[in-house]
Structure 1
Amino acid sequence: MRRSAEVREEDARTPAIRQQTQIVEQVMTTHLIVPGLHGSGADHWQTWLEARLPNVERVEQADWSTPNLELWSARVRAAIDRADGPVVLVAHSFGCLASVEAAAQRPGRVGALMLVAPADPERFDVGVFIQDGRLRVPSVVVASTNDPWMSFDGAAHWASAWGAELINLGAAGHINPAAGFGAWPRGLEILADLRNRVLPPSRYVRHDSVACAIVQ
């Protein structure tokens, strides 16, 4: 019940965020949406966010039901290679692991990573492959204290290993539709803050405290 009230409150702020935000970009940045296991459906926050981002592409996997780090990260790398200019990865669950792996193999191409509810690498026996994947770009790990796919301590460990900022959403489950995360203005704010670290201040015009580098 508390989560539903929070969603309604955040949704009420969405028009203000849109009206108060303007960006003038000198460098084209591509947003890559990287879903997790089974993809992200119409009611998922990634789909909601995708509809509100400029220059956005969703990474598609050949087999959404079989998480394979090598194959999934190859798809992310291919999307990075197709993009013009810097790339911002917006990933969820196992998609976070594929994104970290791809970013490590494409230094200089990825400008930032937003990693939401990453799956535990050890659960998929891939920890050894990404444990040295410290990220050299602005990154955030958005985690929950009751995520069934990764303990909060685990999320804190990997955020530190990756050199990423850790954001604690509290008891937010797997930060997916089942936990009430469809429309997610807070996620838009987190991404905007991340984008502000990628684009120099001279690259955009700010009209609000959120300073979103996103328009719709």
Structure 2
Amino acid sequence: MVPILILPGYGNSGALHWQTIWEKKLPSVSRIDFRNWTAPVAREWCDLLHAELESREQPCVLVAHSLACLVVAQHIEEYGGSGIAGAFLVAPPDPRAAAFPKEIAGFGKLPKTKFPMETIVVSSTDDPYSAAGFGAWCAAAWGTSHHSLEKAGHINADSGFGDWADGLVRLNQFVQALEVKR
């Protein structure tokens, strides 16, 4: 199986978050430590992702939530897709949204580079951290697939997406399709 790298967003993903639950369920999964979870700086997170990908022996699938989606986009814009087999990006936030935390630095410029690997963006019609249609905008800008969930909030534990069984099915299908193409 292709290794999976979990990339939590702002504040990390707690015990009831689908990323943490999937990390325990799936084989070949690890989680990046962005270290500064409560006052993230784009440059630092992008550099940590780059170092993590450079240290790996084989490409991995990135499973990013929230702010980490923007880190992936920034990384691809700066470094390309080396080390990334595919990306599963959930609930990308709009740094221009009123609810975007003020303590987050350096995420104002939205990357528009087309992704060189298979990617799916999953968004919600009522995410408090992005306007309706922002997920579709990201998918179009990045040249990726898009799946919109109706009234799913920020697609996290607080929105009722603890285990998120449907998301896990979608991820498994995504990874299997990548493995067939390899």
Paired residues of 2:89 and 2:122 also in contact (CA < 8 A):
yes
Aligned counterparts, 1:168-207, within 5 A: 168-200=148-180
158-167 or 76-85: bigger deviation: 76-85
The structure with higher relative contact order (CA 8 Å, sep 6+) is 1
User: 1:66 is matched with which residue?
Assistant: 39
TM-score, structure 2 as length reference: 0.88
Structure with the bigger percentage of helix = 1
Structure 1 segments (4+ residues) deviating >4 Å: none
Paired residues of 2:84 and 2:117 also in contact (CA < 8 A):
yes
Of 116, 121, 131, the match for 1:151: 131
How far did residue 133 of structure 1 move? 2.3
Gaps of at least 5 residues in structure 1 are 1-24, 204-216
TM-score, structure 1 as length reference: 0.75
2:34 aligned with 1:53: no
2:111 aligned with 1:138: no
User: 1:209 is matched with which residue?
Assistant: none
Within 1, Cα distance between the matches of 2:21 and 2:33?
17
SS in 2 for 1:193: helix
Gaps of at least 5 residues in structure 2 are 98-104
Across the aligned residues of Structure 1 and Structure 2, the Cα RMSD in angstroms comes to 1.8
- AA of the residue aligned to 1:122: R
SS in 1 for 2:163: coil
How far did residue 125 of structure 1 move? 6.0
Of 76, 84, 96, the match for 1:122: 96
How far did residue 131 of structure 1 move? 2.5
Deviation digits for residues 20-61 of structure 1 (CA, Å, limit 9, x no counterpart): xxxxx5xxx221100011100101000011112211110111
Paired residues of 1:30 and 1:84 also in contact (CA < 8 A):
no
Within 2, Cα distance between the matches of 1:74 and 1:142?
24
- Paired residues, what number? 174
The higher radius of gyration belongs to 1
Q: Percent identity?
A: 35
Paired residues of 2:125 and 2:149 also in contact (CA < 8 A):
yes
Taking a change above 3 Å as real, the CA distance of residues 37 and 118 of structure 1, as seen in their structure-2 partners, is: same
